[in-house]
Structure 1
Amino acid sequence: MKKFSVVIPLYNKRNYIKATILSVLKQTFSNFEIIVVNDGSTDDSLDQIKDITDSRLRIVSQKNAGVSVARNTGIKEANGNYIAFLDADDYWNPDYLETINSLTVKYPESDIYVTAYRIVLSKNRINYSNDSDEVFDDCMLSYWETLKNRYEFVWTSATTIKKQAIVDAGYFTPGEKVGEDLDMFARVAQGNPRVAYSTKRCVDYNRSAENNARVSVRVAFPNAYLSVLSFEMENPKRTREEIESIILKYDKKMIAYIFTLILSGERTKAKSVSNEWNPDGHRNLYKVMLMIANYLPNIIIKWVFSMRLKAF
């Protein structure tokens, strides 16, 4: 049995998919399989990889059903004990799986394993998920406390999870267009909150890629994820520190949701959501600013809120 099954959902990524797959085939740790789930691509994405003949690569095609269903298909097809997620426009360093494998050996009590990553905003602009260049590993006891990070600590293409933990959590929620990965990670954490991690930056998150979900979705409404966060806010098992992180993440997602509602012209809906949202502390100022923005032209809104999350 393969230790790792690499699941790559594919929809119209002709300019990236070959390099993505090759980044996996260059891994220094070789006990893996790759499952590419072609989710009804309408471009020639499959033609770009037809000359890759490695026996570890398997392609499964389905009618377009969305990224959650595509990942679920890959998980169900997987032979590995661990599911390593990789989006079709992101890339791994050659030592990603080796680093993850080391974590699974060192911290078997965890279900979630992650590394740090680079955020490629453009050819000449790169951010990092962690602030320090120091390389070390550890096992964090609470996934919920990671929610206070500026960037997602547990992020799709840098995350590997035990297959059984995903099955127990109920897989990805079909139909979700935003935050479907965060929703599933959080439900896995409800069963086991430990997160084993390495600060080594082993992944490139290609945020400038065409058809990136951040720009292809008109309204950023992570319905399933917000439901999990709402439940955990009231969970008596959570510590004060955990609840503070959960509320912070919830408020960030609400800001993005209302902001995109305004930009998309759904201003009545934006007003209704704003009225129902009750943020804590200084984040109430964001609610006031969003309610004012609801009456301004979009060009001004974009300028005012271009740095909207800097204060968090």
Structure 2
Amino acid sequence: MAFFTVIIPLYNKESYVENTINSILKQTFTDYEVLIINDCSTDDSVAKVKPFLSEKFKLIEHSENKGLSAARNTGIQNANANYITFLDADDLWKTTFLETIFRLINDFPEARIFGTNYEEVYSNKIITPKNLPIGLKPNSNQLVSFFKFNLGQGIYNHGSVCFHKEVYSKAGMYDENIDFAEDIDFNIRANYHFKLAYSNTIQMQYFMETGLQLTRSSILNKRLPEYDKYDVFASENKDITKYLAFERYVLAKHIKTDGSYELYKKISSKIDYSYLNWKQKLLLKLPAFILKLIKEIKEVLIRKGLKITSY
């Protein structure tokens, strides 16, 4: 049995998936299996994958397009390893990603979630996220509180994290009834129940401009997460209360920018504003056209290698 199962959800990534697979093949830790879940791609993605198929690399086909959460769930249900990782078909791992996760597993046996830092790739620019890991020294490995340290850009994303199978038994699978912020929805459940071991080293590249990015498109036609159901978690932990206030802020600002004032009012009314900083409070008060202008300015700055946030 392999030590890791690597799951690649695949949908119309013919231009990128070969590089993704090659980044797995270059890993210094090689005890893994790879499950590629084709979610009914309509391009040549499968043709690009087929030369790699073997006992170690397997292709599973969906009979209909079901979305990212369903593709991940299919991979989990077919995984043979106890430790499960994900890599989207347009992202890359550094060569030492699996080795780093393996060390975290050995060094922190009390943990069931294992994550690393990452970098964002914009065209020819590489930006290290300003995720404010206050108290986390560069290149450090330690147990951390997800809810305490995640009040900004995520300290890991779903291409730089590994979960023990036990996490899915306790926290549940990915919610196939939502298709925006499904990672956040799952992370809340997983990190409520289990400890996170974290390496503050960059082990993954997250490509931000390979297709339509949700941050640049409207979410009004998306099925959104219901953060209210996690208020029971927050009643036990103030760090979760603060985290939910932050995620509601992010969602409300996005919705207001997209032009749905009624939905904005509904979500913003549930925010505990005492946990927001002055920049976040100010942004929520601004009209949608100014928020759109700020968004456009941020994208121009990103192309110049500068990234500003309200975090």
Shorter-chain TM-score tier = 0.7 to 0.9
- Provide the rounded CA distance (Å) in 1 between the counterparts of 2:240 and 2:262: 33
Q: CA deviation at 1:58?
A: 0.5
| Structure 2 partner of 1:184 | 186
Answering whether residue 139 of structure 2 is matched by residue 135 of structure 1, we say: yes
The farther-off stretch of 21-30 and 46-55 is: 46-55
Q: CA deviation at 1:161?
A: 0.3
Q: CA deviation at 1:134?
A: 2.8
- Provide the rounded CA distance (Å) in 2 between the counterparts of 1:35 and 1:202: 21
- Provide the rounded CA distance (Å) in 1 between the counterparts of 2:188 and 2:250: 16
- Provide the rounded CA distance (Å) in 2 between the counterparts of 1:230 and 1:278: 12
Answering whether residue 38 of structure 2 is matched by residue 38 of structure 1, we say: yes
Number of paired residues?
295
| Structure 2 partner of 1:210 | 211
Among 164, 167, 170, which residue is 1:168 paired with? 170
- Provide the rounded CA distance (Å) in 2 between the counterparts of 1:273 and 1:228: 13
Where in structure 1 do 4 or more consecutive aligned residues deviate above 6 Å? none
Q: 1:259-306 CA deviation, whole Å, 9 max, x = no partner? A: 23x1xxx455445555665634634433321xx33xx4xxx5421455
The answer on whether the counterparts of 1:116 and 1:130 sit within 8 Å (CA) in structure 2 is no
User: When the two structures are superposed, what TM-score results if normalisation uses the length of structure 1?
Assistant: 0.85
| Structure 2 partner of 1:285 | 282
For 1:157, what is the secondary structure of its paired residue? coil
Q: Any stretches of 5+ residues in structure 2 without a counterpart?
A: 299-306
Amino acid corresponding to residue 247 of structure 2 in structure 1: K
- Provide the rounded CA distance (Å) in 2 between the counterparts of 1:220 and 1:138: 39
| Structure 1 partner of 2:196 | 195
| Structure 2 partner of 1:70 | 71
Q: 1:67-86 CA deviation, whole Å, 9 max, x = no partner? A: 10110000000001011011
* Matching of residues 42-53 of structure 1 within 5 Å: 42-53=42-53
- Provide the rounded CA distance (Å) in 2 between the counterparts of 1:14 and 1:27: 22
Cα distance, 1:204–1:125 mapped onto 2, change above 3 Å: closer
For 2:51, what is the secondary structure of its paired residue? coil
The answer on whether the counterparts of 1:220 and 1:257 sit within 8 Å (CA) in structure 2 is no
Amino acid corresponding to residue 69 of structure 1 in structure 2: A
* Percent identity for Structure 1 against Structure 2: 27
User: When the two structures are superposed, what TM-score results if normalisation uses the length of structure 2?
Assistant: 0.85
The answer on whether the counterparts of 1:186 and 1:228 sit within 8 Å (CA) in structure 2 is no
Q: 1:204-248 CA deviation, whole Å, 9 max, x = no partner? A: 001111144444564386733623554433x2x21x444334322
Amino acid corresponding to residue 292 of structure 2 in structure 1: K
* Matching of residues 294-309 of structure 1 within 5 Å: 296=289, 301-305=291-295, 306=297
| Structure 1 partner of 2:102 | 101
- Provide the rounded CA distance (Å) in 1 between the counterparts of 2:216 and 2:38: 21
The answer on whether the counterparts of 2:120 and 2:208 sit within 8 Å (CA) in structure 1 is yes
Answering whether residue 141 of structure 2 is matched by residue 144 of structure 1, we say: no
The answer on whether the counterparts of 1:278 and 1:284 sit within 8 Å (CA) in structure 2 is no
| Structure 2 partner of 1:116 | 117
Q: Any stretches of 5+ residues in structure 1 without a counterpart?
A: none
The answer on whether the counterparts of 2:101 and 2:114 sit within 8 Å (CA) in structure 1 is yes
For 2:55, what is the secondary structure of its paired residue? coil
- Provide the rounded CA distance (Å) in 2 between the counterparts of 1:46 and 1:38: 7
CA-based RMSD: 2.6
Cα distance, 1:241–1:165 mapped onto 2, change above 3 Å: closer
| Structure 2 partner of 1:4 | 4
Cα distance, 1:270–1:249 mapped onto 2, change above 3 Å: closer
Cα distance, 1:220–1:207 mapped onto 2, change above 3 Å: farther
Cα distance, 1:155–1:227 mapped onto 2, change above 3 Å: farther
For 1:201, what is the secondary structure of its paired residue? strand
